Structure 1
């Protein structure tokens, strides 16, 4: 299975943890944005293309909240391409009407609460 993990830099350790578990099981990460540093505008063009291509190449997209603008765009690409999407909300913030997004509640978005290991089990299940 090809997979992509969308999130923000503040979740970088969680992304790396999940990445390692999936790779250990023989799955392929389509792009590892955690290897990037904060980038210049010029570098962002290249990174953005790589991330877009990675979402398109993935069978499964995992979105870890809290996520940034880019993650939500990646989720939008995944929705438009009818990818399997797993949304991880450790504090159930997706159920907070003041901060949630309508797109989090589409039937094709599978929500996961709990630990990162429970998320991995859900995706691999």
Structure 2
């Protein structure tokens, strides 16, 4: 059996949560395509360009995309790339705003996007239900 791969996007402000979700998904048998969290602190354009390429490759090679909401500007761009590539997207809504018309984006409501609000271990089960 081939292991499905995921890419996870979110804000640096939520790095611990992102790593916790990643570990749970990895423990469930999935593989993370790229761990951008290990590249915190890049300060020059060459490093940033290298990171951008690695992130793009991570998104293009993943089987599904995880978005920890709210995210930063980079994670929203990554969400857009995943959408353009027709990747299944799973949003962990940490602030319960995806279904609030004043706090959401129309793109979060597309058919290929599944949204979850709740505990992270329940989120893992939510993803498993769709990806196994």
Partner of 1:72: 76
Find the partner of 2:7 among 4, 9, 21.
Answer: 4
Matched, 1:18 2:21: yes
- Stretch deviating more after TM superposition (35-44 or 3-12): 35-44
Once the 2 structures are TM-superposed, how far is the Cα of residue 94 of structure 1 from its aligned partner?
1.3
Partner of 1:106: 110
TM-score, with structure 2 as normaliser: 0.89
CA RMSD of aligned residues (A): 1.1
For residues 72-101 of structure 1, the C-alpha deviation after alignment (integer angstroms, 9 at most, x for no partner) is: 111111111111100111221112323311
1:1-125 aligned at under 5 Å gives the runs 1-40=4-43, 41-125=45-129
Once the 2 structures are TM-superposed, how far is the Cα of residue 25 of structure 1 from its aligned partner?
2.3
Question: Aligned pairs, how many?
Answer: 125
Instruction: Report if the CA contact (8 A) 2:70-2:95 is conserved.
Output: no
For structure 2, list consecutive stretches of 5 or more residues without a partner in the other structure: none
For structure 1, list consecutive stretches of 5 or more residues without a partner in the other structure: none
Once the 2 structures are TM-superposed, how far is the Cα of residue 106 of structure 1 from its aligned partner?
0.8
Q: Distance in 1 between matches of 2:68 and 2:119?
A: 11
Q: Distance in 2 between matches of 1:95 and 1:22?
A: 25
Runs of 4+ in 1 over 2 A off after TM superposition: 95-99
